[in-house]
Chain A
């Protein structure tokens, strides 16, 4: 013992004062340095705040019609103009932020939950479970996703909630596959072997080692998917299969104002820009998260 202690005093004296850098802290530091990602995060937060505070900051309500004042060009009283009901476009976009973000977020959470469940089952248990689930994913991916969403909405009936469900379903295989492959690769990692070697139960292994180490790609993919989900919701809204009027969902706003593209382009341009900016925000943020959390992951 004495011999051991004697030979082992190998650390530099300064090291005691090193701060503890957890992987999350490390990731945050990297993220913070990425200007584009930060810009994305700020955009996203901006829209989130817009969504949360919409009842208070929007100059008008969702459905404050003014038929005497329709299709007004942007002016000081209506910064982004009015639509064909004389409603303030800006207010509707602000209210719409809540809907779009909510749909994006909830549907992605739904996809993640379902995808995780199936992906873990497939990746961890392998064999026939894997075969069945993987084939199911193959089948779902072979469907053109928007067509699948349209069909699901056709079955359930057009509404925002059903659009959300449809979007959640069509994105399940993306997450399922991701998690499955992550589980498979994490399973090969030496620290998993090490954890097994200390006599760990499978369930604990899954919860304490495999899942936490699969989480960062899920976060990254999840962030990016919120963007996609918002576009998908807008597309369904655009086709009249998503949010129902007078809900100011952005895609549905586009559908409603499509006819005015030449006479009142602002009714068309601004909701489209809102979608694009929000999605861009999520994409930038997702990219930044990827670089920070999981530099090895591919685009």
Chain B
């Protein structure tokens, strides 16, 4: 198990290096001069030139790449062109916002998705099964940016039930400790703020949860159905076990493996793919942070931001793989 973990970690090195390389060169292939963009439309030529010099953008590309690589290896993610802040310090609030949102979205997706999948499999071909699966199919067919706008329109503008954007009540902002507001408000015992944070979370997290929820429901169902056909389920029933026990003890644990994979993949996708949701709901997350940086050609931010997201993605999937081993004793890692 340990060796497997180590081996997997070792295998990450070329992936991360390759990633750094690709990000670097794609980003530098984007036309447009960062200095010009930073200084704006109304800047003079000399100012632009001077800023380029200052940012080290006059060096040959490979020199820039290696210095960037060297910096990363020493844990220095660089400084944002726009704010001149160290990215390693600047990025956490954004990351935390995305993590919080993704976590809640994933929680919704898993709780509803897994249960819907189980019930559908259990009552295969019932009206519940049909409607749940049709809903799931619609779920994967909806453009989430559209869903987000519709949600906003319905629940925020028309009904005025929930706030349409942001993470917190601007009039009574959360005092950040971890930047995970759900935790921060609880630590501070501010239940009113906690409720407020939850209210802000609902619309974006539901929009974000839609696709994974649908996918999880579908996978859970098909994987449950497959498991329920298996020989050991027949054995369990031949022992005299009742269906509920069979489903929740024997089937679910076996069915959970493909679901785990999907949860891992989807969580990773959420982390980076939240750009659209974050834009629509003004969620100050990592997706918008990077997207904004692309607009501004803030090379260090794009590079480091993408690397952080990708690394998280990879690690989440690594954790999922390791979870398999916990669930499934057959996967014995030498």
Contacts and interface: CB of A to CB of B under 8 A. Distances in A.
Do A and B come into direct contact in the complex, CB within 8 Å? Answer: yes
A239 B288 CA distance: 12
A143 B273 CA distance: 9
Given A139-B18, A262-B153, A151 B287 contact: no
Contact of A135 (B14, B138, B146): B14
A102 to B, nearest CB: 18
B108 interface: no
Interface residues of B, number: 48
A234 B273 CA distance: 15
A150 B294 contact: yes
A277 B137 CA distance: 11
B213 interface: no
B272 interface: yes
Q: Is the interface of B mostly helix, strand, loop or mixed?
A: helix
Contacts of B92: none
A146 B140 CA distance: 16
B143 A144 contact: no
Given A135-B18, A144-B287, A234 B149 contact: no
B145 interface: yes
B294 A151 contact: yes
Interface stretch (B39-47, B175-183, B191-199, B307-315): B307-315
B19 interface: yes
A136 B18 contact: yes
B283 to A, nearest CB: 15
Nearest to A131: B14
Contacts of B138: 276, 280
B241 interface: no
A235 interface: yes
B269 interface: yes
Given A144-B272, A234-B143, A251-B143, A299 B218 contact: yes
A261 B223 CA distance: 40
A276 B19 contact: no
B221 to A, nearest CB: 8
A55 B145 CA distance: 29
A287 interface: yes
B156 to A, nearest CB: 11
Contact of A142 (B222, B223, B279, B310): B310
Contacts of B157: 261-262
Given A235-B145, A261-B153, A154 B294 contact: yes
B55 interface: no
Contacts of B143: 231, 234-235, 238, 251, 254, 272, 275-276, 279
Contact of A151 (B15, B27, B215, B219): B27
Interface string B26-45: 11011100000000000000
Interface string B275-302: 1100100000001001100100000001
Contacts of B31: 155, 157
B30 A151 contact: yes
B149 A143 contact: no
A235 B314 CA distance: 25
B271 interface: yes
Contacts of B287: 144, 147
Contacts of A251: 143
Contacts of B145: 235, 238, 254
Contacts of B149: 254, 258, 261, 268, 272
B258 interface: yes
B86 interface: no
B146 A146 contact: no
A36 B134 CA distance: 9
Interface residues of A, number: 42
Nearest to A40: B137
A295 B276 CA distance: 35
A298 B273 contact: no
Contacts of A152: 26
Given A146-B275, A150-B291, A268-B149, A287 B137 contact: yes
A53 B303 CA distance: 46
Given A147-B306, A235-B276, A299-B222, A142 B19 contact: yes
A150 B137 contact: no
A272 B150 CA distance: 10
Contacts of B150: 269, 272
A144 B271 contact: yes
B141 interface: yes
B61 interface: no
A272 B153 CA distance: 14
B186 interface: no
A138 interface: yes
Nearest to A278: B141
Most B CB within 10 A of own CB, among A143, A155, A299? A299
A61 to B, nearest CB: 25
A139 B19 contact: yes
Given A151-B26, A283-B137, A298-B222, A144 B314 contact: no
17 contacts: A136-B18, A142-B19, A142-B268, A142-B310, A144-B273, A147-B306, A154-B294, A155-B26, A231-B141, A238-B145, A261-B149, A275-B146, A276-B141, A276-B146, A279-B142, A279-B143, A283-B141
Interface of A: 36, 135-136, 138-139, 142-147, 150-152, 154-155, 157, 227, 231, 234-235, 238-239, 251, 254, 258, 261-262, 265, 268-269, 272, 275-277, 279-280, 283-284, 287, 298-299
Closest 10 CB pairs of A and B: A144-B272, A272-B146, A279-B141, A280-B141, A142-B310, A154-B30, A155-B29, A139-B18, A299-B218, A142-B313
